[in-house]
Structure 1
């Protein structure tokens, strides 16, 4: 069983997971708002360089070099993407979330890390498998990866349309018809779907879909941890876009090693 721990930095709380113990990392709370990642990196590893993105609910995963190249070649301050993968030691990669799933990955052999923003759209587009393929192209083996999914909206309170459930379900089930996909999702053991009293609606556990994508790649359950916190149901610690309809976020970050 994976354990999660609360820590304090400058009197404010953030969360870590024992699965990611080899790397300085944290799932930071709303109490840190609006401090940016380059400040929060000081809580993890003051010597690390911080990288972040302008997130767009897609499945593009970039390296710090690609981020720097984009910023240097354009007028944009930030590159458009939803995932970052480190290339060398002391790179802190960050993602923001306010109900979507923040995913931090570390490779125990190479020290390489990744930070991903996996909302329902990014999950439907398989951002986590995309990132893992990119890590493999940089020398990672699946058995060496450790994946922690941070606080996000829980299935029991995340109502979506059957169409959205079918779109995200299509990432793990290869039926053609939306009704068949949704029925197959309901029949899975520990299903990511819960029934909803409203016609045409279901409740969706996005983190569970990401876990199923990982398992289909051949990553074992022991390599995956899911935080026991729901952003919507934990207002004392986390922003929830569904709850507040405000454009506020909490940051999650991890620093590469080796």
Structure 2
């Protein structure tokens, strides 16, 4: 696990990988690795141990709280500021201006997007699968932020060469943003295309005032040793993308 470079002072962003020094053993071969999801059939105690290991790592930076979501491929976004919510939250976006509070987002092919302002006083974490992107999770998150985000980081997601979609996916984007035609390459039949999630996200972000977009060079499907991938193996774990401020 490495932190992203080039962000405002005091902002820490990164993504977990399959390998982690505190990975707990499991008899479920398909869940081998540092799984952080409770909804994939893993042992609850094992997952909680993994999550606690992350909190302990972050505690060195003063982090005292992790917030996780029950992700739903929606445009629901939650603010986590002065009043802490201990109930389970559903949605696909988290925003905070609270220091020492890590926002967590799980993926295994979908695109994690972290947003923040130039001053390093507000950050957001977004789960952007194609449905969320098409429905407007990025636009909704930017609208819900109290300040204009100026930068974004794109975590590991499935690359264009391995993300085959149907005509309905292309229409969902291109009807709203005609310029996104270039983010879809022809597939093996007239009704299939290869979609570039990174290009789609960059375009939407830049259309909404996010000038600097970092990351977007990984492929969860290809990088077997680094990332979980739902398209590669349907029964699998989840990584977590995180952001916090100090």
The verdict on a shared fold, with TM-score over 0.5 as the criterion, is: yes
Give the CA deviation at 1:45: 4.3
1:227 aligns with 2:232: no
Specify which of 146, 160, 165 is matched with residue 165 of structure 2: 160
Structure 2: tracts of 5 or more residues without a match: 21-33, 37-49
**Quick one: structure 1 residues 151 and 103, their matched pair in 2 at CA, closer, same or farther if it must change by over 3 Å?**
same
Specify which of 193, 205, 211 is matched with residue 202 of structure 1: 193
- Alignment correspondent of 1:27: 15
TM-score (norm 2): 0.80
Structure having the larger proportion of residues in helix: 1
Once the two structures are superposed, residues 7-56 of structure 1 have per-residue CA deviations (whole angstroms, 9 ceiling, x without a partner) of: xxxxxxx2433233631221111224135445313334443111110000
Indicate conservation of the 8 Å contact 2:4/2:12, yes or no. Answer: no
The alignment of Structure 1 onto Structure 2 pairs a total of residues equal to: 217
| TM alignment of 1:12-161, pairs within 5 A | 14-20=1-7, 22=9, 23-32=11-20, 33-35=34-36, 36-46=50-60, 47-48=62-63, 49-64=65-80, 68-69=84-85, 71=87, 78-135=88-145, 138=146, 140-142=147-149, 145-161=150-166
Distance 2:12 2:126 in 1: 16
- Alignment correspondent of 1:74: none
TM-score (norm 1): 0.77
Structure 1: tracts of 5 or more residues without a match: 1-13, 72-77, 174-183
Q: CA RMSD, aligned part only?
A: 2.1
